[in-house]
Structure 1
Amino acid sequence: MEGLLEHPGYDGEKLRKVSEQLPCREVQAGMLLSLMGEPQQYCYPSLFIYGHRASGKSHVVNLLMKELELPHVTVSCVECVSAALLFEQVLLSFFGCDAASLLPRSPSLSDFVRIYKQRASEFPSKQTRYIVMEQAELLRDANVNLLPALLRLQELDNVSVILLSEIVWDKFRPNTGCFEPLLLHFPDYSKAELLQILSAGRNPSYSAEFYSSYINILLGVFYAVCRDLRELQHLAALNFSKFCEPVAVGKETETHKLWKNIEPHLKKAMQTVYLRELPYYSKFLLIAAYLASYNPARTDKRFFVKHHGKIKKTNFLKKNEKTSNHLLGPKPFPLDRLLAIFYSVVDSRVAPSASIFSQISSLVTLQLLTLVSHDDQLDSPKYKCAVSLDFISAISRTVNFDIVKYLYDFL
C-alpha cells in the first residue's frame, strides 16, 4: 500500500520501494520507523521485536536497513557461537578489519567495549548505527553480562541494538536486571493476509483467479495447523503441479473436481506439517493417546509404573485375547488415563495446566483425536486416537521416544 510508509529524513522513493516489498507489514514497518526516528537522530538504545516464526520480523528490519542504506550489522546468534565472534563481526562491519584485529585471542567484554569506544570516537557516524541480533533468545545462554552490556551500548556511541526473538520479553529478561528495551510485537498473518501474500507468488502460466482458488483450498486445509508463511510457501510450490494435472491433460477445470485430484496429496503433506508444527507437549499427548488406544488398561502398570516388579506377558494375557489390538482398531479411553500416561512418558515434570487441556482440544480440532463420549459426560470425556502406527512412529522420532517399547502388541 503506497503512501503508508512516510517519515521525515528518508527519501520518499526509497520508502515506496520498501512498502512494495512488505505486503501486510506496512503498519509494523511504519511503527519501527517512528521508533528509529530520522537517520541523524539518536534512536532508542534498544528495541525488542518479538513474534512467532515467519511473521516478518527479520524481513522488515533487514529490508529497511538495506533499502534506506542505514549503517548496520546483522548478527545471527545461531552462527555466532561465542561472544568473540559477535565482537569481531560488529567491529568488522562498523570499523573495518583493522579494528577487529585489535581483539585479543579470547576477548572479554571489556576488551570489546574499549576498542569500540576508541574507534567510535575516531570515526564518528553521522547516522545511528544499528546492531540487529537475530534469534536473540540464544543470548540467554551467553555470559550473564553480555545482554545488559549490549542494551547500554548507546552510552559509547549513537548506536541502537535491535533484538529479534520468538519469545516474549518476560521470558527473556535477565534475573540480574538490565536496561529495558522498547517492545514491538509482530502478530501472525491473518488468513486474508496469507491469501494475499501467497497469491502474489503465482505461476505466470496461470491466471490470478485460478491460482487464488488454489491458495484458498490450500489455506482451507492447512491454516488451522500452520501459520508459518515459509512453510505455506513451500507447500504451495510443492503441490501446485498436482492441482494443475487435470488442466494440463485437458480434463477438468471445475474447482471441486480439481480438489478431488489434489486431496490425497494434501493429506499426505499434512502429516509432514504435523511433524514440524505440533508443539512439544502436544506430541507427547498424542503419543499417550495412541498408547491408551492400543494398550489394554491393565497393562499400564507394566509399562508406566516404576518398580512394578517382574510381570510377564503371559501373566496378564486373557485366553480370548489372540487378536492384535492394532487389527481391532483404537479403543476409547478416559481423560484421566490419558493424562496419567502423558505424565509418565514426558521427559520433564509438567504441572497440570489450562495449556495442557487446550492442547488436547486442539488435537481434537485437528482430528488427531476423536471425542467419543456424549456431550452430557463433562466429568469424564472419552477419546480415541485417530492416527496410524507409521504416523505416531514418525512423531515419536522427533522427540526421541521409542514408542514400540511401550506397545503391548510388540512385546
Structure 2
Amino acid sequence: MSTEDVNAQLSEKFPGRSEQIDQLLSLLGEPTDASPGCIFVYGPSASGKTTVLQSLFSHYQAGETRMAYVSSVECFTARLLFERTLNAWAGHVPSKENAYSNYRKCDSLVDFVARVSELLGDEEQAETHYLVVDQAERLRGTSVLTSLVRLSELLGLRANVCVVLVSTVVWDKFRVRHGGATDPTLVFFPRYTKAQTLDILAHDCPTGEPPGFFLTFVDALYEVFHRNSTSVQELRHLVAMLYPKFVQPVFEGQATRSEFSRLFKLCQPYFSAASERLYLREISTSEWQRVAPASAKNRAEDVAQAIYELADGSGSGIMDLPYYTKFLLVAGYLASYNPSRLDMQYFARGRDPSAKGRKRKRQAEDSLGGQKRQQLLGPRAFAIERLLAIFYSIVAEAVDSSVDVQVQIASLVTLRLFTRTSSGDRLDGVKCRCNVGLETIRAISRSVQFEVDRFLYDFA
C-alpha cells in the first residue's frame, strides 16, 4: 500500500490527526529509507498517540516483523525491554514448545547492541526496524533512556534502527545534563477540539438510529461532561451507557424523537448520577445497565436513589441499618470530627453551614497547611447529649415517638460502630467515639440523602 493510500485511510479513521499522520509518514519514508534515530511522540492522555502509531505500522508494514512495541509498565527493567524487542524483530514467540524462552538472553546494553547487529546486520537491504516504547516517561532518570535515544548511533552502519518514544510529558523534562545524546524529532498530538471529539463520537452511532438525533444527544452530553473530562475514551463510555437510557422513553411511548427537551428532562437523573457515580467508577457497567430506564411515571428522586443504592451497595453489611440509626451514626461522626464550639454555627436551625465568615476564620486557623485537621488526628470522644442534639438537628422531619433512640445508640455500641470511652459504672455523662471511616459515612449519608461534607469542619 502506498504512502498516500495509508495517509488517506488513516486520516479518515482518525479525525483531527491527518497532520500528525502525514508528519509521521514523511519521517518514516520507504522501508529502505534512512529514518531519524529517535522520534518523540508526545501529547496529553487520550489524544490518539498509541492508537495512531499501532494502526500506522500495521498498514505500513503489512504484517512484517519490523516493529517492536513495548510498554515501560510491562518492561520495567532493561533486560525485559531488550529481550522483548529482540523477540519481536526476530519473529520469536515464547511458547510451550520452546519452554517459553526468549530469542536471546540480553542482560546489558552491550549484549543488546551485539544481538541486534547479529540479527539485522546480514540483511542485503537494510530495512528500517522500529522500536516503539509507550509511556516512556517512566524511563526518565535511567541510563536506558539515553541508550535508546543513541541506539542508532551505537549501531552505526550495522543496522538501520529508529526508536519511537511515546509520552504524555514534554521532552524538556527528559533532558539530562550529561549523556551526549542529541534531541529527537518531535511530533506533537494536541488535545482534541470539540468538533473533532464529536466527529469521533459520531462513529459510535448505533445501527438503525438516526445520525442527526444521535449527534444532538452527543452534543448535549459533551456540554454536560466536558468540564469534568475531555478524554475521548471517557466520553465514549458515557455515550454507550447514557444513550440507551436517553432513547428508552421513545420506545415506551413516553416521548418522540422530536421532543428532545422532554427526553433530556427524563434522562436528567442519569446525567447527574453519571457525573458522580459512573465517571468515578463507583458503579459498574453491569450495575448501571440494571437500573430501570427513565419514565415519565418515575420521579427523578426515585431514579437517583436507585442508582445511589447500587453504588453504595445497599442491602448488605452496614447499609442494612435502620433509617434513624444511619442518622445517629452520621451525627456521631460529626460529633467526633467537629469542634464542639462550632455546633451552633453548623447545626442551629436557619443557619447556613457554608457561611463566608466561618470560612475566613477557618482559612486563618488552617494557615499552617492543615496540620490541625481532625481527619488526620482521628475521632474525638463526644457526650451522648451532644450526639442527640446534632441528631435532632440534621433529621429533616420530626422523629416518630415510637423510635427508641437510646436503644439504637446501644446497638451502635454493640456493633462497635461507637466505642464507649467513659467508665462502665457511670450512668451520666456517658461518652463515645465513632469508629466509622469517611468513605463509609459518605455512603450512608447518600443513602439517606444527606450531604455530610457541608457539615464537616475539615471540608465545609
For residue 275 of structure 1, report the CA deviation from its aligned partner: 4.5
- Compared CA separation, residues 409 and 227, structure 1 to 2 (3 A): closer
- 1:34-73 → structure 2 map (5 Å cutoff): 34-69=26-61, 71-73=66-68
Matched, 1:75 2:76: no
Distance, in Å, in 2 between the alignment partners of 1:35 and 1:326 is 68
Give CA deviations for 1:36-57 in whole Å, capped at 9, x if unaligned: 2232111111111111111010
Q: Which residue of 2 aligns with 1:160?
A: 162
Matched to 1:153, the amino acid is L
Kept in 2, the 8 Å contact 1:139–1:147? The answer is yes
One of 217, 223, 229 as aligned partner of 2:226? 223
Distance, in Å, in 2 between the alignment partners of 1:320 and 1:336 is 15
Of structures 1 and 2, the larger Rg is shown by: 2
Q: Which residue of 1 aligns with 2:273?
A: 268
Q: Which residue of 1 aligns with 2:263?
A: 258
Q: Which residue of 1 aligns with 2:319?
A: none
Instruction: Give the SS at the match of 2:347.
Output: coil
Matched to 2:263, the amino acid is L
Q: Which residue of 2 aligns with 1:84?
A: 79
Instruction: Give the SS at the match of 2:113.
Output: helix
- Compared CA separation, residues 322 and 269, structure 1 to 2 (3 A): closer
Q: Which residue of 2 aligns with 1:337?
A: 363
Instruction: State the aligned residue count.
Output: 313
Percent identity of equivalent pairs: 33
For residue 335 of structure 1, report the CA deviation from its aligned partner: 10
Matched, 1:249 2:244: no
Kept in 1, the 8 Å contact 2:131–2:162? The answer is yes
TM-score scaled to structure 1, two decimals? 0.67
Matched to 1:331, the amino acid is A
- Compared CA separation, residues 243 and 180, structure 1 to 2 (3 A): same
Matched, 1:149 2:147: yes
Across the aligned residues of Structure 1 and Structure 2, the Cα RMSD in angstroms comes to 3.7
Kept in 2, the 8 Å contact 1:40–1:127? The answer is yes
Instruction: Give the SS at the match of 1:87.
Output: helix
Q: Which runs of 5+ in 2 are unaligned?
A: 93-97, 282-335, 373-437, 444-451
Distance, in Å, in 2 between the alignment partners of 1:313 and 1:166 is 40
Instruction: Give the SS at the match of 1:114.
Output: helix
TM-score scaled to structure 2, two decimals? 0.60
Distance, in Å, in 2 between the alignment partners of 1:314 and 1:64 is 58
Distance, in Å, in 1 between the alignment partners of 2:4 and 2:134 is 28
Matched to 2:84, the amino acid is Q
- 1:4-403 → structure 2 map (5 Å cutoff): 10-69=2-61, 71-97=66-92, 100-103=102-105, 107-123=107-123, 126-140=126-140, 144-155=142-153, 156=155, 157-177=159-179, 178-253=181-256, 254-272=259-277, 275=280, 317=341, 320=344, 323=347, 328-332=352-356, 333-334=359-360, 337=363, 340=366, 343-344=369-370
Matched to 2:267, the amino acid is I
Matched to 1:117, the amino acid is S
- Compared CA separation, residues 37 and 238, structure 1 to 2 (3 A): same
Give CA deviations for 1:257-296 in whole Å, capped at 9, x if unaligned: 11101112111111247748xxxxxxxxxxxxxxxxxxxx
- Compared CA separation, residues 125 and 64, structure 1 to 2 (3 A): farther
For residue 153 of structure 1, report the CA deviation from its aligned partner: 1.2
Give CA deviations for 1:150-174 in whole Å, capped at 9, x if unaligned: 1111131211111110111111223
- Compared CA separation, residues 51 and 320, structure 1 to 2 (3 A): closer
Matched to 2:354, the amino acid is P
